A and B are shown apart, each in its own frame.
Chain A
Amino acid sequence: MKNIFRALTTALLAVSAHLPSTAQTPDKPVLVIGVVASASGPAAALGLPEKKAVELVEEMARSRPDLPFTPKFIYYDDGSDPTRAVNAVRKLAGEDAAAVVICCTTTPASMAILDTVKSLGVLNISMASAATVVEPVSERFWTFKTPMTDRMQIAFTLDRLKKSGARRVAYFGLEDAYGEAGWNELRKMAPEHGMQIVANERFSRADTNFTPQALRIRQSGADAVYLHAIPPASVLAHQALTRVGIDRPVFHSAGAANAGFLSLAKGSVDGAYVVSGALQVHDQLSASHPLKASLQQFVQAYARKYPGESADLFAGQGWDAGQLAISALSSAVRASPPGTPLPALRASARDHMERIRNHPGANGIFNLSKDDHLGLDSVGLVMLRVENGRFKLLEN
């Protein structure tokens, strides 16, 4: 009897000891990638697609035999609240022993965790838009980010404006943080592009009437209007310009490069120019476009995993952040001897992040370096024109 018991116990022990090693190759370490996205709260419209895209990255990484480690993703929701983001990052770095952190959806949260990731010594990839998240780079040693900045989009737009022959441009924007950021960049860069700003008119989300400002712009004699706003204000402002009879080209910021802009406009913004990421019109890109293949891969994988949904700009942030995290961590694991302690591995992941070159993502081609923690050029930007209520890609 006792013998049988002992035999059974031994067998059970053997089985249980054997289980984990059959589940994964024994020499692959499991490394945690922590994700903090705003799945609820005001920024949920951004955070949810980001989280979904990272989940897609996770699913695809699991079936990749070439990775030198097994990624394990842990997700937290900061509820669009910077304080909760800081707590989540602390928890990820402490309890969960995350090797890399992807945080956060919003700019305020990404700014709030700057000191946290610095003191914890862990690589963070932010999905927030403001350039200050990674600038000045000397003070943002541990922080990287994926979205294009306003500056790059405005510089791209100014180039196009110049090519179209415009010299006098009117600024028409929201009077909030978004509009102010756009105004500051335009004010700085317009002279460098040989442009003169002849009007600066503002409106707010709650306005009932945009015509007075449009009249001012008409009076300023501008060659073109730069409209820096998000729907619905961007649509109403554009309609007001049409109403007072401005026949000059209207250039919209990337805040208008979304389906909401078109559906609210109902055909009333035909002829508008919109700067956008290439993702928005991935199906219209020529086969020779450097991002065509990678965007196609992302969009198709996303549509397969989430039937009926299409990958938007924010999903693109999650996709890029997840892929960059895996890429940096792979290089770090390959370069470090087995059994490297976590802090050293984190430092190595950060160093290898700065060495990522020619990484095609949803936002563009990433060329990260010691001096550039965003690493994008204008390859990922395109100029669109609204025709018959649809975005049409303009070829140069």
Chain B
Amino acid sequence: MVSLDTFLFLAVDGLTSGAVYALLGLGIVLIYLVTRVINIAHGDFAMLAAMTMVSLDQGRLPGTSYLLVAGVSLWGMLAIWSRRRAGWGAMLAPVLPTVAVAAAAVLLPMGLAAMQAPAVANAAAAVLLVAALGPVFHRIAIEPIPRASVLVYIIVTLGMHLVLQGLTLQLWGPQAHSVAPLLSGSFTWGVVVVSHQALLVVATTAVLVAALYLCFSHTLAGKALRACAVNRTGADLCGIQVASAGRRAFFLGAGLAAVAGVLIAPVVGVHYEMGFLIGLKGFVGATLGGLVSYPGAILGGLLIGSFESWFSYLSSAYRDALVFLLIIPLLLIQTARMKRRGAVHEH
């Protein structure tokens, strides 16, 4: 029989990893709603943020800076090429922002290294750098094929996952790294040892969820994103630029994943393969809300974390198989709910 402290340990751990999956799930839902892209490479943003944190803590220029410089340069060149018939003035217009972003991508880490910045500043910089990669990802991989089917986008992001993972392997090497926790220490709650980092994970997730809710319901940019999610053509007709909404969705989504990565890195260590699996678990959580509901994604993420914790306890050899098996009952629940409403999913 399971003793009380075992139960509490499992509950606390389930909640901690669940919060991380919830953040990833939120980003996946956000990106899917606005752009119809199911982002397979979502976990890689978390992995990149964790890797960036490792480099920044060591006072070195992270590989993310190289990725950003390369991506932004490509973006700039595409912009110049698309204006080739509009005269020199128009063609030169994208040069300044391109150079500015590229310079910021290099100078920010160098400045932090020169100041020997505290870990919290490094974490924030890592999140910012990876969030900036989101729009670049959208511009380079998604925008060249507008209005493609969901399946095509899945294949594109799968390709981008392989590219990002391969580049990470090249830039950071195959070895695992460790990151010092943002909040060290722990406290004992009855018999259960809870690290401060675990509390930080849950608290940060809660704060971000609240911030996201306020942003979507009270700001113009947030409302525009929601409009794109509800009806793309309608939003387009109302003067909302769908492409730039997509970039913003990717910025936010990648940023959420980056926060998840920075939070989980001190707990589990960092290696270049970690992205895919945690991204996939976030995805399974997001399917609870049918990929269209934010509360569903949060609840789903927490459920996946708890189930994973219990499955690891009950049968450690099959825990991942069991977690991914959960997607079948989740989809069945979805279908049943749809039928009851009499609605047919248009996608």
Q: Which residues of A contact B (CB under 8 A)?
A: 42, 45, 175, 201-209, 211-213, 215-216, 219, 231-232, 235-236, 243-245, 260, 263-264, 266
Q: How far is the CB of B58 from chain A (nearest CB, A)?
A: 12
Query: Interface readout for B208-248 with A: 1 if CB under 8 Å, 0 if not?
Result: 00000000000000000000000000000000000000000
Bitwise, B124-150 to A at CB < 8 A (1) or not (0) is 000000000000000000000000000
B193: which A residues are within 8 A, CB to CB? 243-245
Q: How far is the CB of A261 from chain B (nearest CB, A)?
A: 11
Contact with A along B44-64 (1 / 0, CB 8 A): 000000000000000000000
- The B241-295 residues at the A interface (CB cut-off 8 A) are 264, 267-269, 271, 273-274, 277-278
Q: How far is the CA of A135 from the CA of B6 in the complex (A)?
A: 44
Chain A residues with CB under 8 Å of B267's CB are: 208
A205-B278 Cα distance, complex, nearest whole Å: 12
Complex Cα distance A203/B278, Å? 15
Q: Is the CB of A42 within 8 A of B268?
A: no
We find that the number of chain B residues with CB closer than 8 angstroms to chain A is 33
- Name the A residues within 8 Å of B273 (CB-CB): 205-206
By beta carbon, the residue of chain A nearest B308 is A209
Q: Any chain A CB within 8 A of the CB of B316?
A: yes
Q: Contacts A205-B271, A264-B269; is A212 near B178 (CB within 8 Å)?
A: no
Closest to B270 in A: A232
CA of A215 to CA of B17, assembled, Å: 17
Q: In the complex, what residues of B have CB within 8 A of residue A245's CB?
A: 191, 193
Within the complex, the shortest CB–CB distance from B17 to chain A, in Å, comes to: 5
| Bound Cα distance A244, B269 (Å) | 19
**Cβ–Cβ < 8 Å partners of A209 in chain B:** 13, 16-17, 268, 308-309, 312
B164 nearest CB across to chain A (Å): 16
Tell me the B residues contacting A by CB distance below 8 Å: 3, 6, 9-10, 13, 16-17, 20, 174-176, 178, 191, 193, 264, 267-269, 271, 273-274, 277-278, 308-313, 316-317, 319-320
Residues of A within 8 A of B313 (CB): 212-213, 215-216
From the candidates B6, B9, B17, B310, name the one contacting A208 in the complex (CB within 8 A).
B17
Across-interface contacts of A207 in B (CB, < 8 A): 268, 312
CB–CB B316/A202 < 8 A: yes
| Alpha-carbon distance between A330 and B6 when the two chains are bound, in angstroms | 63
Give chain B nearest CB distance to A260 CB in angstroms.
7
Chain A residues lying within 8 Å of B264, measured Cβ to Cβ, are 208
Tell whether, in the assembled complex, residue A206 and residue B277 are in contact, meaning their CB atoms are under 8 Å apart: yes
Q: Indicate whether A45 sits within 8 Å of B176 (C-beta atoms), given known contacts A201-B316, A206-B274, A212-B309.
A: no
| 10 residue pairs bridging A and B, Cβ less than 8 Å apart | A175-B317, A206-B277, A207-B312, A208-B20, A209-B268, A212-B309, A212-B310, A215-B6, A232-B176, A236-B269
- Is B269 a contact of A42 with CB atoms below 8 Å? no
Docked complex Cα distance between A264 and B278 (Å): 21
Other than the given A212-B316, A231-B176, A232-B178, 6 more pairs (CB < 8 A) read A42-B174, A175-B317, A204-B320, A207-B312, A208-B20, A213-B316
Most B C-beta atoms less than 10 A away, residue of A208, A216, A244: A208
| Partner of A216 from B175, B278, B316, B320 at Cβ < 8 Å | B316
Instruction: State whether B268 touches A236 (Cβ < 8 A).
Output: yes
| CB-nearest residue of chain A to B317 | A202
Whether A208 pairs with B278 at a CB distance below 8 angstroms is yes
Chain A nearest CB, measured from B64 CB (Å): 21
Chain A residues near B16 (CB, 8 Å)?
Answer: 209
Considering the complex, give the chain A residue whose CB is closest to the CB of B1.
A219
What is the CB-to-nearest-CB distance from A259 to chain B, in angstroms, rounded to a whole number? 11
Q: Which of A175, A211, A243, A266 contacts B178 (CB 8 A)?
A: A266
**Which chain B positions have C-beta within 8 A of A211?**
9-10, 13, 309
| Nearest-neighbor residue (CB-CB) of A203 within chain B | B316
Interchain nearest-CB distance for B330 vs A (Å):
20
Chain A residue at minimum C-beta to C-beta distance from B264:
A208
Chain A residues whose C-beta falls within 8 Å of the C-beta of B319 in the assembled complex: 212
- Chain B residue with Cβ nearest A216: B313
Residues of A within 8 A of B13 (CB): 209, 211-212
Q: Which of A232, A235, A263 has the most CB of B within 10 A?
A: A232
Q: Are B269 and A232 neighbours in the complex by a CB distance under 8 Å?
A: yes
**Would you give the shortest CB distance from B73 to chain A, in whole angstroms?**
29
**Which 5 pairs across A and B sit closest by C-beta, in order of nearness?**
A212-B312, A212-B313, A232-B176, A232-B269, A206-B277
Residue numbers in A under 8 Å from B9 (CB-CB)? 211-212, 215, 244
Shortest C-beta distance, A138 to chain B (Å), equals: 35
Residues of chain B lying within 8 A (CB to CB) of residue A236: 268-269
A202-B317, A212-B316 known; A260 vs B309 contact (CB < 8 Å): no
A212 — which chain B residues lie within 8 A by C-beta? 9-10, 13, 309-313, 316, 319
- Minimum CB–CB distance from B342 to chain A (whole Å) comes to 40
Instruction: A69 to B176: give the CA distance in the assembly, Å.
Output: 45
Chain B residues contacting A206 (CB-CB under 8 Å) are 273-274, 277-278
Q: How far is the CB of B88 from chain A (nearest CB, A)?
A: 46
Please, how many angstroms separate the alpha-carbon atoms of A356 and B151 in the complex?
63
Closest B residue to A41 by CB, please name it.
B174
Chain B nearest CB from A38 CB (Å) reads 13
Q: Which residues of B contact A45 (CB under 8 A)?
A: 174-175
**Residue of A whose beta carbon sits closest to that of B176:** A232
The residue among A201, A202, A207, A263 with the most chain B CB atoms within 10 A of its own CB is A207
